[in-house]
Chain A
Amino acid sequence: MLTSPSPDTLQVHRHPELSLADEARLLRQDILTTLYDTGGGHYGGSLSVIDLLLTLYRRVLRIDPATARHPERDRLILSKGHAAVALYAVLRRLGYFDWPLSGYASFASALEGHPDMTSVPGVDFSTGSLGQGLSVGIGMALALRKSGQHIWVVLGDGECQEGQVWEAAMLAAISRLDRLHVIVDCNRHQEWGWTSPDGSRPPPLPGIADKWRAFGWQVFECDGHDYAALETTLQAASAERAQPSVIIAHTVKGKGLPLIERDPIRFHCDAVSADEHAELLGSVDLGFSERVSPGNGQEQGAEHTA
């Protein structure tokens, strides 16, 4: 059933020069510039998911950007498809395509508003209507069971309100799909939802780890902006046997951009002024220097797991 090219071309594509932190800074610039050129979009969720996408693509996934549909590649499904611009930015830097991101979601661009496998090389499955990606991942894991690929599915915590996610969670555990992995981009916000700063209203998915555990999954948690923690946790999840695994990646909506972090409801999906755009670009560098300071990631991890 599976045909050439040979699996030898598949490998983890580490950047030859840039650290993950350096590349993440460039990707944040890509996201900000693209969304500004486009006239607005999903700032918050694209910036919360970007570090974990980058870590997956540069440290874990065995892929071949020159043969985007290589049958034996690992798969990644961005089930929270509204963060498409983050995925496109990563795919472009990996060399899947070289079209400008600035045409994103315009009529003339192949870069459809939500990830489109029929028009964008490197998109492993089309998403955008929430809650469907994990089921697709189960299908891939079942079909590829004997050939050893890993299937990664990125969900939002708000997305986990969709019932289909739990239909899928049940079936994956029953089927013992240990090469199927979920990462929840747990930014504790949704478009118009429930979290309040004083904690008087619940997050999108209260008791998130307990719920996944109850459905038969091996649960990991980590800081979704700490590259070392992410890499370690992703590798641990890869090694899991007999159970599917989920990583609850604790993230911040708009991470690295104070203007956005302060107002996650506005920036679920919004446009910015020229002045705000300049401020955002300026703060990418500040966010970079903060993030690489030792201890920052650990403090966040401690806070989230408390």
Chain B
Amino acid sequence: MLMKLADHAGKILAELAYADPRIFVLDGDLADSDGAIHFAQRHPQRFLMAGIAEQNMVSVAAGMAEAGMRPAVFSFAAFLCYRAYDQIRICLSQANQPVMLIGSHAGGLLGRNGKTHAAVNDLAVMLSLPEMQVWAPADWADVELAITHSLLDSAPSYIRLPRRQFEEATHLPGIAAGSRWLRPRQRVCIVSTGLATHWAMAAAELLAGRGLSIGLLHCAQLKPALQWQEELASADLIVSIEDHSRFGGLGALIDRLHLPAARLTLGWPEEFGGKSGPDDELLDYYGLSPERIAQAIEARVRQPATINHS
């Protein structure tokens, strides 16, 4: 059965709510699209359809958190991060209230919805907020980790989830962690987050078939940033890949490490604000399909100056 990661978020919270009376879910009239429906059906008394009013919804959640609850707010990432940004800034970040923001349909692949519903710079605006914890899970185990971690913490968190549906059993290799190697580290390493980790996995397989072994570090947790410095210290080339603008997201976090490795930053171009269309066409056009990613990495690696093959 195909499911969005946000569906998993709703289901996981519904399970946890049986043992944790603090959990409450608010939704901005998208429950059947943003995953909140799974909670609403099982805990109708602990669910509030707060109307098409995201600013109010975020501040309401903050008030609940002040009074001891652990609310999770569901909507599309764009409407949470942009429509309610000042409420997130004041009521969650500055007031440091433990509210979970579950943003579905994050990134640049919005199908027919297109640019108004896209969130391609949400990481930039959320990573720059004090106290805010930021997660970009890539499978259901990541989602579970992000939610359980957020419930243990006393800070607000933003969990960014893509629109894409996966087979329910889809999971990445290894055990969910803030970050983990999905392919062992090599001289050339990809660092990816969220949905882009699936693009990166496919690209790395293509390259392996062409004789080029690439390491792949998947980062589910982006803030607080983990010990990527040590993980990546020996790399010659670090390729960051994200379903986000090349400005202000994972690529910027990697650049900030000031490692000696050469860098290739892949993501949506800064001038891209979103576009209607099928995922495959968009990814291919903007150089983010597995084949285009593989080509970009291969071209960079074959430049004699970039990698020392000795």
Contact = CB atoms under 8 A, between A and B. Distances in A.
A, B assembled together:
yes
Interface stretch (A34-42, A167-175, A234-242, A292-300): A167-175
B90 A128 contact: yes
Interface stretch (B55-63, B152-160, B249-257): B55-63
A168 B56 contact: yes
Contacts of B217: none
Nearest to B50: A171
Contact of B67 (A128, A144, A163): A144
B68 interface: yes
Contacts of B22: 1
B86 A136 contact: no
Contacts of B124: none
Interface string A192-233: 000000000000000000000000000000000000000000
Given A124-B66, A142-B64, A144-B67, A164 B95 contact: no
B174 interface: no
A136 B59 contact: yes
A139 B99 CA distance: 12
B96 interface: yes
Contacts of B71: 139
Measured as residues with beta carbon below 8 angstroms from the partner, the interface class of chain A is: 20 to 34
Contact of A164 (B56, B63, B64): B56
A61 B86 CA distance: 29
Interface string A175-193: 1000000000000000000
Interface residues of B, number: 31
B59 A140 contact: no
A135 B95 contact: no
Interface in A101-138: 116-118, 124-129, 131-133, 135-138
Contacts of B24: 143
Contacts of A132: 55, 59, 86-87, 90-91
A2 B71 CA distance: 16
Contacts of B96: 118
Interface string B217-230: 00000000000000
Nearest to A151: B63
A140 B60 CA distance: 8
A125 B66 contact: yes
Nearest to A138: B60
B68 A1 contact: yes
B170 interface: no
Nearest to A149: B67
Interface in B50-103: 50-51, 53, 55-69, 71, 86-87, 89-91, 94-96
A129 B86 contact: yes
13 contacts: A1-B22, A1-B69, A71-B67, A118-B95, A125-B66, A128-B90, A129-B89, A133-B59, A140-B67, A164-B53, A164-B87, A167-B53, A167-B56
Pairs A-B, 9 closest by C-beta atoms? A139-B63, A135-B59, A143-B67, A167-B56, A167-B53, A136-B63, A139-B64, A139-B60, A140-B63
Given A168-B60, A171-B50, 6 more contacts: A126-B90, A127-B90, A132-B59, A135-B56, A167-B55, A170-B53
